[in-house]
Amino acid sequence: MRRIAAKTDRFLLNAGDWFLGLFEGLGRVIFLLSELTIWSVIMLFRRRGARKGEFIRNVLNYGLGAIPIIGIITFLVGFVTALQSAAQLRLVGANIFVADLLAIGMTAEMGPLMAAIIVTGRSGSAIASEIATMKYTEELDALKTMGLNPVKFVMVPKLWAMVLSMPILTLFSCAMGILGGTLIAITYLDLSFDAFWMELVKALNVRDVISGLTKSITYAILITVVGCFQGISFTGGAEGVGRATTRSVVTAIFAIVVADAVLGLLFYFL
What confidence tens digit (pLDDT) does each residue in 243-267 have?
Answer: 888 999 999 999 999 999 999 888 8
Ramachandran area for residue 84 (φ above 0: left; ψ -120 to 50: alpha; else beta): alpha
- State residue 169's pLDDT score: 94
Nearest CA among 195, 216, 230 for reference residue 100: 195
CB count within 10 Å of CB 88 equals 10
Please tell me the predicted confidence (pLDDT) of residue 49: 60
Q: Are 198 and 97 in contact (CB under 8 A)?
A: no
**Which CA distances in Å does 89 have to 189, 219, 238?**
9, 33, 52
- Residue 117: the pLDDT is 94
pLDDT, position 118: 94
Give tens-digit pLDDT for 74-113: 999 999 988 888 777 777 777 788 888 888 889 988 999 9
**At 185, which amino acid appears?**
A
For 49, list phi and psi in degrees, rounded to 5. Answer: 90, 0
Q: Report the pLDDT value the prediction gives residue 3, as an integer from 0 to 100.
A: 52
Q: Euclidean distance between the first and final Cα of the chain, in Å?
A: 56
Digitized pLDDT (tens) for each residue of the chain, 270 residues in all = 445 544 556 766 777 776 777 777 777 878 888 888 888 888 877 766 667 778 888 888 888 889 999 999 999 999 998 888 877 777 777 778 888 888 888 998 899 999 999 999 999 999 999 898 888 888 888 888 887 888 888 888 899 999 999 999 999 999 999 999 888 888 887 788 888 888 888 888 888 899 999 999 999 999 999 999 998 888 877 788 888 889 999 999 999 999 999 998 888 887
Q: How far, CA to CA in Å, does 92 sit from each of 86, 105, 169, 221?
A: 10, 20, 35, 43
**pLDDT given at position 226:** 92
Task: Report pLDDT for 8.
Answer: 57
Q: Who's near 254: CB < 8 A, 6+ residues apart?
A: none
